[in-house]
Amino acid sequence: MTDVIRLQINYHTLEEFKRFNENGLEELSMLDELKENMVENQIDSPFYGIYEDGKLVARMSLYPIHAKYDRYFDPPRDYLELWKLEVLPGYKGRGLGTALVEYAKSLGHAIKVNVRGQSHPFFLRLGFTPVKYDAQRDRGENPYVWIPEKER
């Protein structure tokens, strides 16, 4: 069983995020977000991760969005926006990304994600569906959504 934990916002996590920045795509960097939210061990951290042998090897962020700002669900609802799901090289293909998404789903809220590159099959396999593209709203993004069974 892979444990997903809420990451603390502190200088140790900042150092761990630098490893992702070195290996990942620039647009997936969470360093700026972490620095902006730097309050030692902030309780409401939006960051979640998986550790192996004391090393952060997979991470994501989840941001709560209030229904009044919802442009993706009908009817509008509160949801979580999943951002910057990333697994370090050498740890891919081991189900860590799936574990992070399943953890997010276990929180019982609808989820919206902007699907990038070749990850469309991954999110489809996990029960997400693409939202009809709206050029004004989506501006080049590929939104997919997931709704818990109890809300369908």
pLDDT tens digits, residue range 74-87?
Answer: 899 999 999 989 99
Helices (H), 84-150: 96-106, 120-125, 135-138
Q: What is the CATH number of the domain that holds 103?
A: 3.40.630.30
CA distance 29 to 69: 25
Contacts (Cβ under 8 Å, ≥6 apart) of 82: 60, 61, 62, 101, 104, 111, 112, 113
| Distance of alpha carbon 129 from the chain centroid | 16
> Angle 120-124-130 (CA atoms, 0-180°, nearest 5)?
75
pLDDT tens digits, residue range 45-65?
Answer: 889 999 999 899 999 999 999
pLDDT tens digits, residue range 81-140?
Answer: 999 899 999 999 999 999 999 999 999 999 999 998 889 999 999 999 999 888 888 888
Number of domains the chain contains: 1
Query: Alpha carbon of 89 to those of 23, 56, 105, 119: distances in Å?
Result: 7, 12, 24, 16
Residue type, 17: F
Residue type, 26: E
Supply the range of the domain harboring residue 19.
4-151
